[in-house]
Amino acid sequence: MNQNNLSGDAKLDIPTGMALYSKEEFGEIVSQLDGAIKDSNSMTKILESEDLLASAVKEKNKLAALVTVLEERHRGMQNEAREAKRLARYWRDRYENLMGGKP
């Protein structure tokens, strides 16, 4: 009786005619497994790119919200500048009226 040691580099001796698959069938199975591995690697890359895309969309939304806040602050500062100019003209005109005309 043939004792088979399956650990390490030992070979399993299968008598001719006892193999479950022919060499052609085995080659086809190996080819299918290679294809499945390639598909798995492709899906991994797609999933990783989707994670990157999700991160990019999240960052874009955050920056869009920041732009909205900055635009509102800019409008507020423009309004303050217009009001400051209006008040400066008002007080200049009052001064000129009190002094009897332009200096």
User: Are the beta carbons of 54 and 62 closer than 8 angstroms?
Assistant: no
DSSP 93: H
User: Are the beta carbons of 96 and 102 closer than 8 angstroms?
Assistant: yes
Determine the Cα–Cα distance for residues 52 and 64; give it in Å rounded to an integer: 18
pLDDT tens readout for residues 13-42: 656 665 677 778 888 888 899 889 999 988
Determine the Cα–Cα distance for residues 58 and 68; give it in Å rounded to an integer: 16
Q: Which residues of the chain have pLDDT under 50?
A: 1-7
Delimit the domains of the chain by residue range. 23-102
Predicted pLDDT of residue 6: 45
What is the secondary structure of 3-42 as a DSSP string? ----STTPPP---TT--SS-HHHHHHHHHHHHHHHHHHHH
